[in-house]
């Protein structure tokens, strides 16, 4: 099961071996490199999208592609099947559906409707949905954020 030798690198590799078993032909080190490369490429696309912010269509494409790369990077660590199961788990099914819906709406606004205002609104909504989706992986994070927002936005005198 777990290696109790105290060597963190060996423990990480054993964890990755247990998670994917024989499903993936990549070594644990290759999976970590794949995760890092995909995540860095996604973050780079999101960063580069700010350069073309004045062109909402190009911005939406780069930003959404970067989001999908960043979210998909965990498939290297967990495997695509486990990630798919986790995304559509009962705890985060609504967050996943809202996030994926926002991605589709942003692309429709950018590519089909060609409306700059709608594209910007869709991207802002996509960012919020991505944050809410990401919080679903942290225990009690969504509840804490909800309670914090109620406390901060409450206008009782």
d(CA 29, CA 37): 12
At 53 the three-state DSSP class reads coil
Q: pLDDT 10s per residue in the chain (157 long)?
A: 444 445 545 544 554 555 544 456 888 899 999 999 999 999 999 889 888 888 888 888 899 899 999 888 888 888 888 888 999 999 889 989 999 999 999 889 888 898 888 988 988 998 888 888 888 887 888 888 888 888 888 744 3
Q: What span, in angstroms and rounded, lies between the C-alpha atoms of 34 and 56?
A: 30
Of 157, 155, 156, 132, residue with least CA distance to 142: 132
Alpha helices in 50-115 (DSSP H): 56-72, 75-78, 80-87, 93-107
Question: Count of CB atoms within 10 A of residue 5's CB?
Answer: 8
**pTM of the entire structure?**
0.71
């Amino acid at each position: 099961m777990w290696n109790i030798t105290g060597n963190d690198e060996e423990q990480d590799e054993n964890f990755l071996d247990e998670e994917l078993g024989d499903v993936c032909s990549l070594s644990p080190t290759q999976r970590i490199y794949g995760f890092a490369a995909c995540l860095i490429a996604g973050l780079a696309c999101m960063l580069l999208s700010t350069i073309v912010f004045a062109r909402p269509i190009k911005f939406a494409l780069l930003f959404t592609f970067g989001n999908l790369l960043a979210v998909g990077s965990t498939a290297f660590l967990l495997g695509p099947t486990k990630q798919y199961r986790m995304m559509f788990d009962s705890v985060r099914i609504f967050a996943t559906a809202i996030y994926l819906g926002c991605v589709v709406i942003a692309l429709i606004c950018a590519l089909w409707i060609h409306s700059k205002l709608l594209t910007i609104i869709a991207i802002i909504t996509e960012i919020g949905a991505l944050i809410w989706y990401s919080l679903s992986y942290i225990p009690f994070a969504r509840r804490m954020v909800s309670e914090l927002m109620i406390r901060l936005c409450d206008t009782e005198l």
